[in-house]
């Protein structure tokens, strides 16, 4: 992926007024930046407003990366209020009018909702994995029971019967 990423960086960053495409070494000087943005595995691709980066889930080949990067553009945010519609501007103003502690509490609440969704996913995934193990064992037991009930002997008799007819 690295050669494709480097090629996309060179092409996209060379255009005037476009989005920045960059990489960060999370094992060296960039580690604090990676830690503060929730980077846990490598490679991880993030995009969006630097203060609220989102995870990229698309393809990792050149064509996919280039298509995605070409589609990036500045979006509505407190730093780009001129790109917001009336509803977005009103929401930003409402959030800006909140006290720091109220805003922190609202952020914490939303992050708790994400954690709850992740916990539900993990719990349900564990149930599915346990169910898979159970039905896999049941299948293996059923196959073994069929084999032990004489299937091998039946096949041997059939194979021998075919030779006697010749």
> Alpha carbon of 94 to those of 19, 90, 141: distances in Å?
28, 6, 62
Whole-angstrom distance, CA of residue 58 vs CA of residue 94: 33
- When divided into structural domains, the chain yields a total of 2
Q: Give pLDDT, residue 85.
A: 94
Q: pLDDT tens digit string along 56-108?
A: 888 888 888 888 888 787 778 898 899 899 999 999 999 999 999 999 999 99
The residue length of the chain stands at 166
Q: Which two tokens stand for residue 73?
A: 């553009």
Reported as half-sphere exposure (CB side, CA atoms, 13 A), residue 102 has a value of 6
For the cut 70, the answer to whether the pLDDT of residue 166 exceeds it is: no
Domain ranges, residue 22:
2-74
Cα separation of the two ends of the chain: 62
Distance of CA 61 to the CA centre of its chain: 16
Q: Is 16 part of a structural domain of the chain?
A: yes
Q: Which two tokens stand for residue 35?
A: 């830690």
Measure the CA angle with vertex 35, ends 31 and 40; round to 5°: 100
Q: Is 83 part of a structural domain of the chain?
A: no
148 and 105 co-located in one domain: yes
Instruction: Find the radius of gyration of the CA atoms of the chain.
Output: 28
Q: Give pLDDT, residue 79.
A: 83
Q: Which two tokens stand for residue 44?
A: 């991880």
- The predicted model scores a pTM of 0.57
17 and 65 co-located in one domain: yes
Q: pLDDT tens digit string along 104-155?
A: 999 999 999 999 999 999 999 999 999 999 999 999 999 999 999 999 899 9
Q: Is 64 part of a structural domain of the chain?
A: yes
Q: Give pLDDT, residue 121.
A: 96
Q: pLDDT tens digit string along 6-50?
A: 777 777 776 655 567 777 888 888 888 888 888 887 788 888 777
Is there a contact between 65 and 5 (Cβ–Cβ < 8 Å)? yes
110 and 52 co-located in one domain: no
Whole-angstrom distance, CA of residue 56 vs CA of residue 149: 53
């Amino acid at each position: 992926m690295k050669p494709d990423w480097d090629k996309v960086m060179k092409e996209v960053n060379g255009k005037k007024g476009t989005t920045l495409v960059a990489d960060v070494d999370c094992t060296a000087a960039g580690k604090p930046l990676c830690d503060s943005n929730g980077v846990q595995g490598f490679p991880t691709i993030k995009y969006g407003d630097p203060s609220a980066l989102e995870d990229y889930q698309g393809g990792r080949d050149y064509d996919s990366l280039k298509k995605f990067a070409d589609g990036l553009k500045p979006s509505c945010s407190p730093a780009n209020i001129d790109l917001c519609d009336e509803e977005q501007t009103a929401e930003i103003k409402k959030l800006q009018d909140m006290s720091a502690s109220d805003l922190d509490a609202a952020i914490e609440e939303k992050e708790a909702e994400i954690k709850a969704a992740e916990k539900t996913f993990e719990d349900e995934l564990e149930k599915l994995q346990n169910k898979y193990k159970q039905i896999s064992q049941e299948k293996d037991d059923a196959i073994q029971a069929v084999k032990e009930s004489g299937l091998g002997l039946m096949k041997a008799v059939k194979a021998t019967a075919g030779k006697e007819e010749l």
